[in-house]
């Protein structure tokens, strides 16, 4: 069965569609056509703020102030109330019952507004005491599953947007240990975040977080003529057992469904869907265009797509009749992780089957089954406030990739096929090391594979020896042969990344060797959890006038940005691999250079954040602005570098021209010896406007504080909170002391338009060393 799905994913086989597979979202929604929600256009009727700055301090107070159902604002009415919730955590059980149309919403990221409670099924209560204001359950001695809900939405025509609803009752339970009294793996742990009981309910950009029974979408009546339609779009639901359940007609679209790890005893699996659709109701749950992923630690094949909730039926007692539920679910065009198995037997132990009197109404079609796990965080966009990359609309990369545009790659051929999707939003999960200098068989190609027959290095050195050739640029047959050789290598080792792409490592040491990722004239690219190593140039160019004595100049950066915008590079590592430049031969009087930059950001690139990454074993590490002649870089090159580690690197960390560059909370290790002896860290080039904030230098004896910053035709640097071996450091004062004949402004001339959280430099080295680089995200 799994083999067939993988073949289908690769386009090698087709799957017949079972009965009912062509249900459309319109079948679920009927005569209801909900429009996308846009809180930016809403004017709040009430404002909830715990600090008293709104009209109400609690959610319940604001909800109670809303008009009741039947007050002239019924179905189809254009009149709707709007309740804006300011950022904060609101710990209260919320009851929303029989209200006129309204919207409850936050203004920003869903995580900024958290509604949370911690009740659970087996939580005791006294008889006569209400379990919940919306659902008292007065005769019960426990809260029960319904009574555990953090939020009960028992109303029609309601909208929730940009909120997080949490039940944290079981958050402290780990590996089956730490349950409250009366709770165990076999029962009592049900803890609902959101329970709905109404029609025309719309949730958009909402996060529902719990463990067992997170989201309870219920009907107000068993009468099949009474609709109970719920639309969940662009949202996130997390849990571990039956965490999307109930009898409502539920459509989940373009969302993230995450199976959680950690609560249950190791070896115990879980289930996602548990519909309890009445037999006479045709449409139960439809989940489409969504991503089903798992937290780290969820074993492959341990979670079923779901099981029918045969509500009220004892084990082995289910018999087809109008009076018993027969859960209906369709899972269509989703991305399904390897933690999933197929459907499971129902709660009454009715075996899953598509035939016979006890047939289940649950099926999956046209889904993409991933062969390896892709963590939910792989789909992250950059967070608000996270540097320049979060501005201008933010950086999302391929976060909105459709299931068919999520590719797991282990080889260059698979990588090329994924990139051939072009500017379509795509997520490329790298599940190994990909050698960009290897051929289709995996054989690494060397200089003889790329060398033009007419090129010979010894002859090149004789021909262009400055003693005979002079200081003219090389020209003629040998130089043309070098260029042809270089073009052949470039055709193999340079990978062009298109727009709307996320490339993320999902295996230990995932990344790229022997080549260069080129981001040229593209927008919306995310690179995360990857190691880039050894972009080695066999045919560097000779410039007889560089630095006055001539230099070899290599072509390839491990990653290069040229006219690239909205780029986020996070938790990556960059290095020269096992072929350091100091080991190269001296030719034409100079050491041959085989590596260019590790990460260069040039030619009007803009809105870039580089965070939590490691740069090691390199000479000219990062160039922001490629030349003094690139005057069109003015107004561009807005780059943030934060929480990066720079060690065994010589210089350019970074060297800046023209840009507004924020260097914040970086750690620089300055060592004078080795293959890459320390030169300087921050270079202030022509028209650079650098803001240095709370950086930390760790230096061995022999490296003086005055070496950490260098003036290179620039005149602006602002610095605050930096430290050198734990002592306060004033970079501006150092620059002025080293350049008494120059006028140096002590302010950058710009203020960050984002709110980046800044750590104290004294606490920085340990934190960055613990958190930077690949392998630290999941």
pLDDT tens-digit profile of 23-32?
457 778 999 9
Mean pLDDT of 708-715: 96
pLDDT band at 10 (very low <50, low <70, confident <90, very high): very low
Mean pLDDT of 259-274: 94
Who's near 346: CB < 8 A, 6+ residues apart? 307, 308, 309, 310, 318, 327, 352, 360
Out of 71-75, 235-239, 351-355, 505-509, pick the least confident.
Answer: 71-75
Distance between CA atoms of 594 and 599, rounded to whole angstroms? 15
Mean pLDDT of 168-178: 96
The DSSP secondary structure of 188-254, one letter per residue, reads: S----SEEEESSSEEEEEEEEE-SBT-EEEE-S-S-TTS--EEEEES-EEEESEEEEEESSEEEEES
pLDDT tens digits for 437-464? 999 888 999 999 999 999 999 999 999 9
Q: How many other C-beta atoms can be found within 10 angstroms of the C-beta atom of residue 500?
A: 24
Residue carrying the six token digits 């958290």: 114
Quick check: 566 and 525 in contact, CB under 8 A?
A: yes
Q: How many other C-beta atoms can be found within 10 angstroms of the C-beta atom of residue 71?
A: 11
Antiparallel, parallel or unpaired: β 551-553 and 541-543: antiparallel
pLDDT band at 572 (very low <50, low <70, confident <90, very high): very high
570 backbone dihedrals φ, ψ, rounded to 5° = -140, 135
Three-state DSSP at 7 gives helix
pLDDT at 412 over 50: yes
Three-state DSSP at 562 gives strand
Q: How many other C-beta atoms can be found within 10 angstroms of the C-beta atom of residue 146?
A: 21
The pLDDT value recorded for residue 547 is 87
The pLDDT value recorded for residue 441 is 86
pLDDT tens digits for 333-357? 999 999 999 999 999 999 999 888 8
Mean pLDDT of 421-450: 95
Structure pTM? 0.87
Closest CA relative to residue 508, chosen from 488, 531, 527, 525? 531
pLDDT band at 566 (very low <50, low <70, confident <90, very high): very high
The pLDDT value recorded for residue 225 is 84
CA distances (Å), origin 654, targets 597, 690, 758, 761: 11, 10, 19, 19
Quick check: 463 and 454 in contact, CB under 8 A?
A: no
Quick check: 368 and 322 in contact, CB under 8 A?
A: no
Out of 12-16, 163-167, 243-247, 407-411, pick the least confident.
Answer: 12-16
Mean pLDDT of 574-599: 94
CA distances (Å), origin 628, targets 277, 602, 691: 69, 11, 20
Distance between CA atoms of 478 and 647, rounded to whole angstroms? 38
The pLDDT value recorded for residue 74 is 42
Per cent of the chain over pLDDT 90 is 88
Quick check: 646 and 653 in contact, CB under 8 A?
A: yes
Mean pLDDT of 672-694: 95
pLDDT tens digits for 78-132? 589 999 999 999 999 999 999 999 999 999 889 999 999 999 999 999 999 999 9
Q: What is the dihedral of CA 775, 776, 777, 778, to 10 degrees?
A: 70
The pLDDT value recorded for residue 206 is 98
Quick check: 488 and 452 in contact, CB under 8 A?
A: yes
Three-state DSSP at 587 gives strand
Phi-psi region of 514 (alpha: psi -120 to 50; beta: other; left: phi over 0): left
- Residue 324 burial by Cβ neighbours in a 10 Å radius (0-12, 13-18, 19+): middle
Catalytic residue among 260, 263, 412, 652: 652
The pLDDT value recorded for residue 25 is 72
Mean pLDDT of 214-242: 94
The pLDDT value recorded for residue 6 is 32
pLDDT at 7 over 90: no
429 backbone dihedrals φ, ψ, rounded to 5° = -95, 115
Mean pLDDT of 392-421: 95
pLDDT band at 14 (very low <50, low <70, confident <90, very high): very low
Annotated active-site residue 200? The verdict is: no
The pLDDT value recorded for residue 48 is 98
The pLDDT value recorded for residue 746 is 95
Mean pLDDT of 524-536: 97
pLDDT tens digits for 298-345? 999 999 999 999 999 999 999 998 889 999 999 999 999 999 999 999
372 or 216, higher pLDDT: 216
* Sign of the four-CA dihedral 354, 360, 366, 367: negative
The pLDDT value recorded for residue 24 is 52
The pLDDT value recorded for residue 776 is 92
Mean pLDDT of the chain: 93
pLDDT band at 773 (very low <50, low <70, confident <90, very high): very high
pLDDT at 133 over 60: yes
Quick check: 143 and 120 in contact, CB under 8 A?
A: yes
pLDDT at 152 over 80: yes
pLDDT at 717 over 70: yes
Distance between CA atoms of 291 and 398, rounded to whole angstroms? 13
Mean pLDDT of 608-616: 98
Q: Report the run of H or E that residue 683 belongs to, with start and end.
A: strand 682-684
The pLDDT value recorded for residue 1 is 31
The pLDDT value recorded for residue 11 is 31
The pLDDT value recorded for residue 222 is 80
pLDDT at 612 over 80: yes
Distance between CA atoms of 10 and 406, rounded to whole angstroms? 12
Mean pLDDT of 134-154: 96
The pLDDT value recorded for residue 392 is 97
The pLDDT value recorded for residue 78 is 57
Mean pLDDT of 503-527: 97
């Amino acid at each position: 069965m799994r083999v067939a799905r993988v073949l289908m994913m690769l386009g090698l086989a087709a799957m017949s569609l079972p009965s009912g597979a062509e249900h459309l979202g319109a079948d679920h929604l009927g005569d209801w056509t909900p429009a996308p929600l846009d809180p930016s256009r809403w004017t709040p009727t009430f404002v909830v703020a715990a600090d008293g700055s709104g009209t109400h301090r609690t959610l319940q107070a604001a909800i109670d102030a809303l008009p009741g159902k039947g007050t002239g604002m019924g179905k189809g009415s254009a009149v709707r109330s709007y309740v804006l919730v300011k950022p904060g955590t609101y710990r209260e059980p919320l009851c929303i019952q029989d209200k006129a149309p309204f919207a409850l919403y936050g203004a920003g990221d869903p995580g900024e507004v958290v509604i949370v409670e911690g009740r659970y099924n087996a939580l005791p209560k006294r008889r006569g005491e209400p379990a919940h204001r919306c659902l008292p359950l007065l005769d019960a001695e426990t809260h029960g599953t319904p009574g555990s809900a953090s939020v009960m939405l028992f109303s029609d025509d309601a909208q929730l947007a940009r909120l997080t609803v949490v039940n944290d009752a079981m958050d402290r339970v780990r590996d089956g240990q730490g349950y409250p009294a009366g709770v165990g793996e076999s029962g009592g742990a049900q803890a609902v975040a959101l329970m709905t009981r109404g029609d025309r309910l719309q949730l958009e950009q909402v996060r529902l977080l719990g463990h067992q029974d997170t989201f309870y979408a219920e009907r107000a009546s068993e009468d099949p003529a009474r609709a109970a339609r719920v639309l969940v779009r662009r949202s996130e639901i997390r849990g571990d057992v039956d965490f999307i359940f109930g009898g409502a007609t539920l459509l989940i679209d373009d969302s993230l469904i995450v199976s959680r790890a950690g609560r249950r005893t190791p070896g115990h699996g879980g289930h996602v869907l548990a519909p309890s659709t009445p037999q006479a109701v045709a449409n139960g749950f439809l989940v489409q265009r969504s991503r089903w992923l798992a937290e780290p630690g969820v074993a492959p094949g341990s979670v079923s797509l779901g099981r029918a909730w045969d509500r009220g039926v004892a084990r082995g007692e289910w018999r087809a009749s109008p009076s018993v539920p027969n859960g209906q679910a369709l899972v269509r065009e989703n991305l399904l992780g390897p933690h999933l198995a197929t459907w499971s037997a129902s709660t009454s132990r009715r075996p899953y089957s598509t035939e016979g009197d006890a047939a289940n109404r649950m099926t999956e079609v046209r889904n993409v089954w991933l062969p390896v796990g892709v963590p939910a965080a792989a789909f992250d966009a950059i967070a608000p406030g996270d540097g320049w990359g979060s501005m201008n609309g933010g950086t999302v990369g391929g976060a909105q990739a459709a299931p068919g545009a999520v590719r797991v790659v282990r080889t260059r051929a698979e990588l090329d096929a994924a990139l051939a999707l072009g500017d379509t939003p795509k997520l490329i999960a790298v599940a190994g090391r990909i050698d960009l200098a290897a051929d289709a068989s995996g054989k690494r190609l060397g200089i003889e594979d790329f060398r033009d027959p007419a090129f010979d290095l010894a002859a090149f050195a004789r021909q262009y020896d400055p003693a005979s050739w002079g200081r003219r640029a090389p020209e003629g047959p040998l130089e043309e042969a070098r260029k042809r050789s270089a073009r052949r290598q470039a055709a193999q080792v340079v990978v062009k990344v298109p727009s709307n792409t996320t490339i993320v490592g999902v295996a230990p040491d995932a990344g790229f060797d022997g080549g260069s990722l080129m981001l040229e004239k593209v927008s919306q690219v995310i690179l995360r959890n990857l190691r880039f190593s050894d972009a080695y140039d066999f045919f560097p160019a000779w410039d007889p006038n560089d630095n006055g004595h001539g230099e070899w100049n290599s072509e390839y950066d491990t990653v290069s940005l040229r006219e690239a915008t909205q780029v986020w590079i996070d938790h990556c590592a960059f290095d020269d691999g096992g072929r350091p430049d100091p080991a190269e031969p001296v030719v034409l009087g100079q050491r041959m250079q085989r590596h260019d930059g590790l990460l260069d950001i040039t030619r009007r690139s803009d809105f870039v954040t580089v965070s939590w990454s490691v740069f090691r074993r390199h000479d000219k590490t990062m160039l922001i602005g490629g030349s003094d002649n690139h005057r069109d870089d003015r107004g561009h090159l807005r780059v943030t570098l934060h929480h990066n580690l720079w060690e065994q690197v010589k210089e350019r960390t970074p060297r800046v021209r023209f840009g507004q560059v924020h260097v914040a909370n970086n750690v620089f290790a300055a060592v004078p010896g080795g293959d890459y002896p320390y030169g300087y860290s921050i270079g202030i080039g022509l028209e650079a406007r650098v803001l240095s904030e709370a950086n930390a230098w760790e230096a061995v004896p022999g490296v003086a504080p005055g070496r950490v910053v260098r003036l290179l035709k620039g005149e602006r640097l602002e610095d605050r909170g930096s430290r050198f071996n734990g002592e306060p450091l004033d970079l501006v004062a150092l620059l002025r002391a080293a350049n008494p004949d120059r006028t140096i402004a002590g302010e950058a001339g710009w203020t960050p338009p984002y709110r980046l959280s800044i750590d104290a430099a004294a606490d920085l080295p340990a934190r960055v060393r613990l958190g930077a680089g690949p392998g630290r995200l999941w």
